[in-house]
Homo-oligomer: A and B are copies of this chain.
Amino acid sequence: MRNIKLTIEYDGRRYLGWQRLGDSEKTIQGKIESTLKQMTGEVIEITGSGRTDAGTHARGQVANFKTTTDMTREQMLSFLNRYLPNDIVITKIEEMPERFHARYNVKGKKYSYNIWNSEVPTALHRHTSFHVKQPLDLDKMQAACERLIGEHDFIGFSSLKKSKKSTIRTLQEISIVQHGNLLECQFIGEGFLYNMVRIMMGTIIEIGLGKLPVEVIDEIFEKKIRQQAGETVPAHALFLDEVYY
């Protein structure tokens, strides 16, 4: 069996997310699987690097699947991009060793989150940014990012109720880049818990607005209570940029 790795870009707006049981036609994974069936005649299950929420976009989601097809990579790329809906694009196809697994082998991920910070809304970025009307204090936000970086128990920054598995994760980098009214916040880490980027972002925003002190971050690490953190900001401004192996 060949083991094929896909790199995938998608506009998540129309979908229930990467994966969701029961309604696969409205998920990215379901769309790709049905196009692969069309292509190969085989029933193929693909393994994603992880889920993305309903509405979340990707610049570089990764998945793999096993197949016996003898199509070339070029033929597969061209077939898939022709028959997938135009809000899902396969950007790269690679042939991998048999043991490659898109979820188990993940070494890290990069996410980004767009904030539109202006009193007036935006027409052109309305589907890909979260509108924050009040002025944000970038220095306070940077200070919040610094406290988040490193190895911590992030359970207070997740929607998990309890977890039997470890909720300790290491964040390598958080950076905020300003392009006019648009703030692009990037998060690079070895792993992320459920809703972790959106809750960290919500907390950084409330610190930037002066609603929460920057010290709240250490308190959330210490007391492990989700309620102290900021709100879970909307999914439509979140992008999975890259998966590292």
Docked Cα-Cα span, A90 to B118, in Å, equals 12
Interface-located stretch among A119-127, A170-178, A199-207: A119-127
How many copies of the chain does the oligomer comprise? 2
Task: Check: A227 CB closer than 8 A to any chain B CB.
Answer: no
Band of interface residues on A = 20 to 34
Task: Check: A101 CB closer than 8 A to any chain B CB.
Answer: no
Docked Cα-Cα span, A87 to B127, in Å, equals 10
Quick one: which of A57, A86, A121, A123 has the most chain B CB within 10 A? A123
Query: A11 contacts B123, CB within 8 Å?
Result: yes
Query: A9 contacts B124, CB within 8 Å?
Result: yes
Docked Cα-Cα span, A178 to B88, in Å, equals 23
Chain B residues closer than 8 Å to A59, beta-carbon distance: 124
Q: Which of A1-24 contact B (CB under 8 A)?
A: 9-11
Enumerate 12 A-B pairs (CB-CB under 8 Å) in ascending A order. Answer: A9-B122, A9-B124, A10-B124, A11-B123, A59-B124, A77-B120, A81-B121, A86-B121, A86-B123, A89-B120, A89-B123, A91-B120
Q: Which A residues are within 8 Å of any B CB, using their own CB?
A: 9-11, 57, 59, 77, 81, 86-91, 120-124, 126, 128
